[in-house]
Amino acid sequence: MTATAVLDLKQRLSRLSEGDRKMAAAYLLRLKHESPAGRRETSRAMREMDAGKKVRLSDLKRQLSHA
């Protein structure tokens, strides 16, 4: 998707009501989870959690501050 198309989508979404934005976000999240890539990502995260992979709070704060 081109940068222009992304900008157009963002502008259209910003004009929606809060309820419509929530519905659009829920729909996009459902699409992500139903896609093969989304399922692989969920499986990877679950395997890591099952293996006991942890994230320290300080590391999480650092990651979020760079987002």
Taking only the tens place, the pLDDT of each residue in 23-62 is 999 999 999 889 999 999 989 988 988 888 777 888 888 8
User: Taking a C-beta distance cutoff of 8 angstroms, is the pair 21, 13 a contact?
Assistant: yes
pTM of this structure? 0.54
Say how far apart CA 25 and CA 10 lie, in whole Å. 12
Say how far apart CA 10 and CA 50 lie, in whole Å. 36
Closest CA to 30 of 18, 42, 38: 38
Say how far apart CA 9 and CA 16 lie, in whole Å. 11
List the beta strands (DSSP E) in the chain. Answer: none
